[in-house]
């Protein structure tokens, strides 16, 4: 069985790493978009004065990003979470 020279292995590994980095960046952008959509739906709930819509947005955000809470990476979702909490406060849903 022929062996792959070290230079070719290094190039293949570099290409693979670039693909992985590109995939991770794409996935992070997709996650950020999803979180922003949850916050947008909370804003719509605030405009409609529907606390249930805002609560559902918070629930989806919680379930979607629960792993970030457990790994102390809350700063990644602080903005959409703050938007949802502020929307709840503005419509008088304090509990």
To the nearest whole percent, how much of the chain has pLDDT over 90?
32
Dihedrals phi, psi of 66, to nearest 5 degrees? -55, -35
55-76 pLDDT, tens digit each: 999 999 989 888 888 888 888 8
Residue 54's closest CA among 39, 64, 72, 76? 39
Residue 90: CB atoms within 10 A of its CB come to 11
Regions of the chain where pLDDT drops below 70: 1-15, 93-95
Q: Is there a contact between 46 and 92 (Cβ–Cβ < 8 Å)?
A: no
- For residue 17, what are its two tokens? 């790493």
Q: What is the predicted pLDDT for the residue at 12? A: 65
Q: Is there a contact between 46 and 89 (Cβ–Cβ < 8 Å)?
A: no
pTM beyond 0.75, yes or no: no
Q: What is the predicted pLDDT for the residue at 24? A: 87
């Amino acid at each position: 069985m022929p062996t792959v020279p070290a230079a070719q292995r290094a190039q293949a590994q570099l290409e693979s790493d670039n693909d992985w980095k590109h995939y991770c960046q794409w996935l992070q952008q997709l996650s950020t978009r999803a979180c922003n959509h949850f916050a947008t739906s909370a804003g719509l709930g605030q405009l409609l004065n529907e606390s249930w819509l805002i609560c559902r947005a918070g629930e989806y955000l919680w379930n979607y990003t629960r792993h970030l809470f457990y790994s102390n990476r809350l700063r990644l979702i602080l903005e959409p979470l703050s938007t949802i909490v502020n929307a709840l406060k503005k419509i008088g849903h304090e509990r």
